[in-house]
Amino acid sequence: MKGKYESTINPDLGYIILITNIAVDPTGKIIPGDGATFHKVNFDVMTFFPKVQEIVEGEVVEITDFGAFVRIGPTDALLHLSQITDDYLSSDVKQGMILASQSKRILKVGSKVRVRITAVSLPRGAALGKIGVTCRQPFLGAWEWIEEDVAKAEKGIAKKAESKEKPEKIEKKPGKK
């Protein structure tokens, strides 16, 4: 039972990770011409069902010429180069990193990332599903990038609040009332 369903994909349930609490009804049925008995079975299932637009956290596990693979739950999702940042990118597969030319931001194997799921394809059976993700939106990407963006946003908010506290000077021009 566990061997038949664990580590498979079901389009309705997602990735089936674990089956527990298996309870087999001791009374079974016999079908003429079949030597087996058939029993009702109840069990609990732990699954991972990725949904489009969901924000998930993961870890970069591989760098390729066309992007990076991010481990999210029990599977890997593709983060294509075009979905990393607006900056010009170059990937160095040997060193396992992607470098943004202007911002100098680096994505490397082992980077912890926050991404949004943009595409999901879950075939039936043990075949691999396909998941596409993006980090081209505010507060997505490598944790270091998010921390930089949050600090920048907080600084901008503090600056705006500070300017509201200071009263504006009104200059009077001669000859005007």
Domains in the chain, CATH or no CATH each: 2-48 (no CATH), 55-155 (2.40.50.140)
Whether the pLDDT of residue 21 is over 70: the answer is: yes
Which of the 8 DSSP states describes residue 32? T
Beta-strand ranges (E) seen in 25-66 are 29-30, 37-38, 41-48, 55-64
Q: Which residue has the tokens 């369903």?
A: 5
pLDDT tens by residue, 152-174: 888 888 877 777 766 556 666 66
**What φ, ψ does residue 145 adopt, rounded to 5°?**
-65, -45
Total count of residues recorded for the chain: 177
For 103, residues 6+ apart whose C-beta sits below 8 A from its C-beta are 85, 87
Position 157 scores a pLDDT of: 84
SS3 153: helix
pLDDT computed for residue 152 by the predictor: 87
Q: Give yes or no for residue 54 having a pLDDT over 70.
A: yes
pLDDT at 89 over 60: yes
* 35 Ramachandran zone, left/alpha/beta (phi>0; psi -120 to 50): alpha
As a whole number, mean pLDDT of residues 56-73 equals 95
Whether the per-residue pLDDT at 136 is higher than 80: the answer is yes
Model confidence at 176: pLDDT above 70: no
Rounded Cα gap, residues 48 and 33, in angstroms: 39
Higher pLDDT, 15 or 170: 15
Question: What percentage of residues in the chain have a pLDDT greater than 70?
Answer: 90
Convert the pLDDT of each residue in 66-78 to its tens digit: 999 999 989 999 9
Cβ atoms 91, 64 nearer than 8 A: yes
Ranking 61-65, 76-80, 119-123, 172-176 by mean pLDDT, the lowest is 172-176
Q: What pLDDT does residue 165 have?
A: 66
Q: Structure tokens of 99?
A: 């470098």
Q: For residue 168, what are the contacts with CB-CB under 8 A and spacing of at least 6?
A: none
The pLDDT value recorded for residue 114 is 97
